[in-house]
Amino acid sequence: MRFKSIEIINFRNFDVLQVEIGNKNVFFGMNDIGKTNFLFALRYLFDRDMRKRDLIDSDFHKRNVSKNIEMLVCIEITDSESPDTQKLRAKLKGAIGSLYVLFCCIIVPLIIFIIFIRLWIFFLNSSWRSIYEFI
């Protein structure tokens, strides 16, 4: 499992934050720019006990409670040998299977169908000579 990016919207001092990250990161900077808030957002995402506590109005950017807080973490789970990936795949088994079914049973046949239609239209509008040159 490898972290790719994180997006945080309307959380504490972040109106919109998009950061590409990896599995090993270093955060440094001036005081009061959001390093701790960024780490708190990660902890809120990954720590079930943290999510049990209610958010307060100061957790919202500029106390804008009318706008939802959004946090999106993108991870890569193609490394099937990693123990972390195996645990995550076990938890997400149904979701990964659904994406596989969507891709294999709907998207790929749809692309093949579109290619077939385009070739059919090409052949209908072409002379035998241009078809011979096409092949």
Concatenating the DSSP letter of every residue in 26-79 gives ----STTSSHHHHHHHHHHHH-HHHHHSPP-GGGBGGG-TTS--EEEEEEE---
Domain membership of residue 12 (yes or no) is: yes
| C-alpha dihedral, 6 to 11 to 16 to 20, nearest 10° | -20
Domain shared by 72 and 7, yes or no: yes
> What does the block give as tokens for 3?
């972290």
Question: 94: which strand partners?
Answer: none
| pLDDT given at position 96 | 55
Domain shared by 24 and 58, yes or no: yes
| pLDDT given at position 51 | 83
Domain shared by 32 and 62, yes or no: yes
Q: Are 11 and 59 in contact (CB under 8 A)?
A: yes
| pLDDT given at position 36 | 94
Q: Provide the residue range defining the domain that includes 115.
A: 99-134
Q: Are 9 and 16 in contact (CB under 8 A)?
A: yes
| pLDDT given at position 1 | 74
pTM: 0.63
- Please report, for the chain, how many H helices and E strands are present, in that order: 6, 3
Domain shared by 62 and 9, yes or no: yes
Domain count, the chain: 2
pLDDT in tens, the chain (135 residues): 788 899 999 999 999 999 999 888 898 889 999 999 999 998 888 888 888 888 899 999 999 999 999 998 888 877 778 888 778 777 766 555 555 555 555 666 667 777 767 776 766 666 555 555 555
| pLDDT given at position 87 | 80
Domain shared by 103 and 73, yes or no: no
Q: How far apart are CA 34 and CA 109, in angstroms?
A: 47
> What does the block give as tokens for 66?
């009318």
> What does the block give as tokens for 47?
């720590």
